[in-house]
A and B are shown apart, each in its own frame.
Chain A
């Protein structure tokens, strides 16, 4: 529960991991992974965010109902993003949009 005190060693380990993540994400941005560049960037960002939430924000040591609120918020956000994207990604491309895309995705 909230009586738990996270030690500075844990904080420093998390800090170093976050720095490493930042380094990797910058390195990966300059490699050409095609379509996967964005996936890799978001995956690293999500890992970093999870570390911040679990340790810096003490979510791992919080009350169960606080953890429930956190999980629900992420889940709800995922629903909103998925539904919105499923609309936009299935619309027929209009001429002007298609031409704007050619350069990168041809």
Chain B
């Protein structure tokens, strides 16, 4: 394909090329919106049908780790936006710095997610034949005071009395939890790969005020993944905390 510098032959100007790329990326993100939208719909309908099991399941999630991850992810969105700004004003060193920061924060997010998954394995909350909601009190954190633990045990027992099939319905909750957070994590891993590609480019000084489309486009993707988490966090972690 004919190409002059970063300008491909079928575009008149870099400006036009960037606008086209942005539009294309948004159209891809629209398909992602509908993809995750379907998952959120599945979650909503099942939560409505099996609210007891979903409530107990939701309360087993660690709000501290989930909240920390939310902060980390929003921070990574800020550093990503700053990387775009650095490229636009021609601060080439800063582009690399902010991209590396974004990658670092993304990695922290995935690490925390791994810790959370490990907890679920330890507490028999992975859908399958060893699944048992009765095994643990609602907040499986070390150092919980016994009074609260007893209260939570009572809550779980009560839930079992109300919904005898709670272990079946609970597996539905955790299937959705692992499915949705897993797909979100997969998107983060793809994003991390894209960031590594950008960082290599930034080391070669590829991104300038005239040409920074890749940073902008990957930024759109990264912020979209952030938005998915903005919805996942309250829906999965916070829905039944108020009792």
Contact = CB atoms under 8 A, between A and B. Distances in A.
Contacts of B75: 15
A58 B70 CA distance: 21
Given A26-B63, A66-B22, A77-B34, A88 B45 contact: yes
A103 B162 contact: yes
Nearest to B75: A15
Interface in B1-57: 15, 18-19, 22-23, 26-27, 29-30, 33-34, 37, 40-41, 44-45, 48-53, 55
B65 interface: no
B55 A44 contact: no
A84 B234 contact: no
A45 B44 CA distance: 15
Interface residues of B, number: 61
Contacts of B48: 88-89
A56 B85 contact: no
Interface residues of A, number: 61
29 contacts: A2-B19, A5-B89, A8-B82, A11-B82, A22-B71, A22-B233, A25-B238, A29-B242, A30-B242, A32-B242, A37-B242, A42-B234, A49-B230, A52-B223, A53-B227, A56-B77, A56-B81, A57-B219, A57-B223, A63-B19, A63-B22, A65-B23, A69-B30, A72-B30, A73-B34, A80-B41, A85-B45, A100-B50, A100-B163
Interface of A: 1-3, 5-8, 11-12, 14-15, 18-19, 22, 25-26, 29-33, 37-38, 41-42, 44-45, 48-49, 52-53, 55-58, 62-63, 65-66, 69-70, 72-74, 76-77, 80-81, 84-85, 88-89, 96-97, 99-105
